[in-house]
Structures are given as C-alpha cells and as structure tokens.
Amino acid sequence: MPFFSDLLGIYLRSYQKIRTDERNILRSNKTPQMPSLAPWRSRSRSLKEYLMEKRLLIAIVVSFLVIFLWQALFVKKQPPQPPPPSQQASKATDRQPEVKTALEKNSTQQEKESGETEEFQPLTEMEEGEISILTSLYQATWSNKGAVLKSWKLKKHKNSNKEDLELISQAYEEVGLFPFMVETEDSTFDQKVNNALYTFTSRQILLEDGETQELRFIYADEKGTKVEKKFNFYGGKYSFDIEINVWKNGHRIEPHLLWGPGFTNLSPEKGKRTFGGEPGIAVYVGDKLFFQDEKKFKPEQSSFNFVRWVAYKNNYFAALFLTSPQKASSSFRKIEREGENIFYFTFSNPEKGFIGPKELDALNEFGYNAKKLIQFGFFGWMAEILLKALKGIHNAIPNWGLSIIILTFLIKLIFFPLTFSSTKSMAKMQEIQPKIKALRAKYKKAKQDIAQRRKMNEEMMKLYKEHGINPAGGCLPILIQLPIFWGFFRVLAVSIEFRHSPFLLWIKDLSVKDPYYVTPILMGITQYISQKMTPTSADPTQQRMMLILPVIMTVFFMNFQSGLVLYWLTNNVLQIGQQHIMNRLMKKKKRVSHGKKGKK
C-alpha cells in the first residue's frame, strides 16, 4: 500500500531529525544561552505539531485497518457477471471437444478401475420367479419382479392357527405396494423399475446359524437405467445388511425405499385385546425417539430428516431400518381407499435391516438403542431388571404365569419392612384422629388467618412428636416401591415373552384378556378386602368414596392382558395375607404396652 509507506516515511524522517538535534545539544559542553521567548514558543509549537501528526498517523492507520478487515471478513465478493450470450456460445463451442475428451478419459479410467465395462448394458430376466431364504428363525420369500419382499414368516412365533407368523401384510396385491419398492420424484421411472424383472444370484438360500450369504438383484436397460439391490443375510439373526444403488439416465441418484402396507395381518378386533404399543412408526433422530401411531396420523408431523433408524412396529414385532443419519430422511404416508386407511413409510440411505420380534436381547445385539422400541416407559431401567429376573425364574420353572406369581411374592417379601412401617404409621394416625379433629375445630379460621394456621401446624407437629408419628411415614414406602410397581406393569404389558404363553386351566395366552373375566372379578373382590383391612386416616366420607376404587379397577382391567391381571390379583392376595399378619402384630404390641401401663 504506497500511501501508508509514504506517510510513514515522512513521519520517520521528521522524528529522526528531532532526535538528532536533541543528541547534539546534550553532547556539547557549552552552556546554552538562554533562548529568546519567540524561538521557545516556536519549538514548543513544533513539538505539539509533531505530537498531533503522530496521533493523526495512528488514527489513519487504525481506520484503514478497520476498513480492510471489514471488507475481508464481512463483505461477500460478488460473482463475476456472465458474458453476453454470444460470447458464452462461442466459448462453449471452443471448449466442447476438450470437455468431451476429458469425460471419455474419466469414464474409461473408472471402467478400468471397477472392471464393470457393461455397467449400463441391458440386463433383465425373462420370467418372474421367487427366491426363498431359510434360516432357523424365519423363512422369507422375495420376487424378482421389482426385487421386493413378499413374505417373512417367523418360525418361533405362531398366529392364532398355530402357523408360522406372517409379518408382511397380504394386502399388497390389492394396494399395489410391496416392501423394498423404489420411490423417486419420477413416477414413470418408479413404475418401470418396480415392475421390471431383475436378475438374481440365487433361487434358494439355506443358512445355518453363524453362516452368511448375499442375495443380489440387478436390472439395467440401454437408456442409462440401472438398479442394484444387495442383501446380506445371517443365519441365527433377524438382522441383515442392505445396499441400494440406482442410476437414472446414467447418473447416480438417491432413491427412497418403501415399507408397507402396514405391518403384519393383525385384525383391529385382535389388536383391541392387547394393551401396549399401537401400530405405527418409530423414528430415532439424534438421541430422541418419536412415535406416531396410525390412529394419530398427522400429515404435518409425518416427515423426518437426519434419521438414524426408522421402524414400523406394533406391540410385539417391528421392521427396523438403520440409515446414514447425515443424509437420510423418512416419511409416514396414508392412502384412503374405499373407506379403509392404508399406511406405509419411506426411507432413504438404508444400511441395515431387522424384521422380527421385539426381544430385548435381539435388539441389544442389533445396537443403536434399538431396545427403545420396547416401550417400557419412564422406569424402563427397572422394567429391564424385572424382565431379566422373570427370565431367570422361567429357566427354572418353565411357566410364565408361575414366574409372575413367584417374582411378585419375592418383591412383597423384600418390601415387607417398609410396608409394615407404613401400616404402623397409618394405624397411629388413625388413633390420634380425634385429637387432630379437635385441633382443627379449635382453629376454625386457619384457612384465612395465617397466624392461626401457624399455631395449628405447630401444635399438630407437637402431637405427632408425642406419639412418635412421621407424617410422611405412610406415603414414603409407597413412593419407594412405585418404580417397581410401574416397571412390572410395563414388562407384562409389552414383553413378547408372554405372547401365546399359557398359564393354567382356561388361560391359554397371557398376552390377551381373560376370555371369561374370572381373574378381573377376583382382582376387584381382593382389592375391596385389602382396602377394608388397611388402616386409614381419612374421614368417613372419603372412606366411602374410596370404596368405589375396586369397582373402577375391575372395569379398567377387564380388557387388559391376563398376565397383567394375574400380577395384580397375586399382589392383592399377598397384600391381604401381609395385612392380616401386620394387624395381629400390632394388636399384640398394643396388649403388651397396655399390660405394662396397668402394672404401673
């Protein structure tokens, strides 16, 4: 910058001259004569001018630095204006042969590196065929028409007819939707590739546990269209690898895959017999899991970006697909057809799939927090512990109903000291109820008068202290046990281990309601007996209101899974026995204490 260099040069020369004059005066031994007033004023003025010049120079340098930095950091460079069309055309004409040659060289180099010189050569099958995958866990059937999935039957899980459970909705023929169909922005292209006959590598794949094998579908035509679907299956696992490559007009594109219509063939009537997760999708974005059920479908909330995985699920089964979160998206869709709603979802950039039961061990092995598909609820950590405990008991006693009863008994036994403490506290509260009522009558205006309220509270705390009562003693043990109660409740509601698991007599399936409503009625009766036996500090009106609770609970549990009702019934029976023991202990303690007082 020439301006700054000139300015600095003037300043430096002036400054050097002043310093030279000062050094000459100091070196001379002669005593300088007193200068006249005029020269002194002149020299003082010159020093002020130099100081002013120095400040001005600094200000100018700083100003230009600020302007320079502002332009460099905050002012965006304008793109160059395009030349007139005639110039563009002439330049494009001049460059065209050179670009074409470069593309040809690049294409030839890629072909040499990949070894696939027939990449866009026509490649199709002459007739439609089916491919079967057989493992110890499932049997899958694929079609080379569109390279889609037509059947996925689980061998270890049965339907109501005791046949292998089919997870693929058989409504695909009517709707025209198949799992793993390709979807792009061009419907004509989609129709072509989804109805094409693909070549495939194997007609049948048999996998023992620990073995793996790839199934590859390929379709290509002379117009630059190519679709390649690769699936790698593992023996003894519900998971498999996915790789999808699509070219359109010779260019690579990123399509979406489709899953649907719906999931499984469960009728709405059978769906009402379970209490748990409704059919719908689950989308894992970042560290959050979003659920959207079919019944609560909202188009404005049905699209998701940066998806880690997406799944179609019901209470016990799921079709889950792991994606690349940086560029993956998913969308939940609904089709209204003849008064019936058909649901499906699309997803992009798949890497891995899982189609099977929502078993905790299988989902933990899959990873990526897939276990969150099991909706254990707020106390999920406790639910997992209880499920492992139930499995341990079931290994020794292979009956899930008996396992529920045994674990309920063990939990009651562990928490007996807390429950006993709570019952004692409530019994003491019941004894001093007349004194508490007298205090409340004494301070009638406590609700309006703060001073009276303070005095009443002080006397009440004194009363509690005299009788050794902890006001929170009745509620605290219940709060401590709440995570276990709720965790047990959710385990029995959503765990697949109880599906089609018989108990005794008429209960053939712990995952559905009692067909004769015997256990819900027994549960209501035992709830009433337990409530009458438990001491309470409530007034008579509140006690009468609480007697309605068993009736409400009975109605509420009518359509719950019989496993849930069995747990609650067992808990009530144990509570009655426990309350009887505690009442006897407290009566005995009273007799002993009254006997001591009589002797005194």
Share of the chain above pLDDT 70, in %: 73
The structural domains of the chain, with segments of one domain joined by +, span 130-375, 382-432+467-599
pTM: 0.71
Checking if the pLDDT of 277 tops 70, the result is no
Strand partners, 352: 241, 322
Mean pLDDT of 191-215: 95
Query: How high is the pLDDT of residue 120?
Result: 67
**Distance from first CA to last CA of the chain, Å, rounded?**
110
Task: State in words which class domain 130-375 has.
Answer: mainly beta
Query: Is 562 exposed, middle or buried, given 0-12, 13-18 or 19+ CB atoms closer than 10 A?
Result: buried
Whole-number average pLDDT of the chain: 79
AA identity, residue 49: E
pLDDT in tens, 97-141: 333 333 333 333 333 333 443 456 788 878 899 999 999 999 999
Query: How high is the pLDDT of residue 599?
Result: 52
AA identity, residue 298: K
Report the range of poorest mean pLDDT among 59-68, 148-157, 272-281. 59-68
Query: How high is the pLDDT of residue 510?
Result: 92
Task: Choose among 200, 218, 196: nearest CA to 123.
Answer: 218
pLDDT in tens, 531-560: 888 766 556 666 677 778 889 889 988 988
Buried b (16+ CB within 10 A) or exposed e, 312-324: bbbbbbbbbbbbe
Report the range of poorest mean pLDDT among 1-10, 426-435, 495-504, 579-588. 1-10
Measure Cα distances from 235 to 139, 204, 206, 270 in Å: 11, 14, 8, 32
Report the range of poorest mean pLDDT among 68-77, 249-258, 326-335. 68-77
Question: By the 8 A CB rule, do 296 and 329 touch?
Answer: no
Query: How high is the pLDDT of residue 147?
Result: 96
Comparison of pLDDT for 515 and 35, the residue scoring more: 515
Comparison of pLDDT for 126 and 297, the residue scoring more: 297
Rounded Cα–Cα distance for residues 115 and 239 (Å) = 31
Query: How high is the pLDDT of residue 45?
Result: 45
